[in-house]
Chain A
Amino acid sequence: GQQVMQIPQYQHVQEGEDFTTYCNSSTTLSNIQWYKQRPGGHPVFLIQLVKSGEVKKQKRLTFQFGEAKKNSSLHITATQTTDVGTYFCAGRRSQGNLIFGKGTKLSVKP
């Protein structure tokens, strides 16, 4: 079945360093969403990408959707301790169900 692979599984950075997580699908996605889950919390929607090659920015966060609509990335510039959590990508199949990746757990050392 369709899978959404996410790497790395863990990332430890020093505060101020950049961070990137990558998401890859075995099949073309209609769109992709990104969620953040703080420790002990629940997933919170960050953004949705729909168009091939789309790039969206939210302050220090930059999201990209690949040209083939099979991969995506989230880049955080100059991480802060408030960025700590697990970042999930979720690809939507044409039938409308989201497939979540396993997430990248980010820890930030002050």
Chain B
Amino acid sequence: EAEVAQSPRYKITEKSQAVAFWCDPISGHATLYWYRQILGQGPELLVQFQDESVVDDSQLPKDRFSAERLKGVDSTLKIQPAELGDSAMYLCASSLVGRGTYEQYFGPGTRLTVT
């Protein structure tokens, strides 16, 4: 069964450093999402891509976060500089747009700890 791949699975960094997360969605999924999940909370959408275009980044802290999906396949989320409050699980999800359902398939996530 196809899965969403993410790397790294765990990342520890010091505040003010730069970090980057990578996501490879399920083949053929045009829509890709980056979520942030704080412990004990539900996932919060950071950015949504349709192919290579950003369709929603209203909740992305653009002063420090950036995301790209240059060829409309895999994607990178970057934080620079990292702050203590960025410690969370970063989840990538993908979905097959155009079908009746828009179920999202989540990757295993990257757990970020900022010290």
Interface size for A (C-beta < 8 A) is 19
**Count, A-B residue pairs, CB within 8 A:** 42
Pick the contact of A45 from B44, B104, B107 — CB < 8 Å?
Answer: B104
- Cβ A42 vs Cβ B108 within 8 A: yes
Pick the contact of A42 from B44, B45, B109 — CB < 8 Å?
Answer: B109
- Cβ of A51 < 8 Å from any Cβ of B? no
Q: Which residues of chain A have a CB within 8 Å of any CB of chain B?
A: 6, 33, 41-45, 48, 88, 90, 92, 95-98, 100-103
In the A-B complex, the 5 residue pairs with the closest CB atoms:
A100-B42, A45-B103, A42-B106, A43-B106, A100-B43
> Can you name 26 A-B pairs with beta carbons within 8 Å?
A6-B42, A33-B102, A33-B103, A41-B108, A42-B91, A42-B108, A42-B109, A43-B43, A43-B91, A43-B93, A43-B104, A43-B106, A45-B103, A45-B105, A92-B102, A95-B56, A96-B102, A97-B45, A97-B56, A98-B104, A100-B43, A100-B44, A101-B42, A102-B40, A102-B41, A103-B41
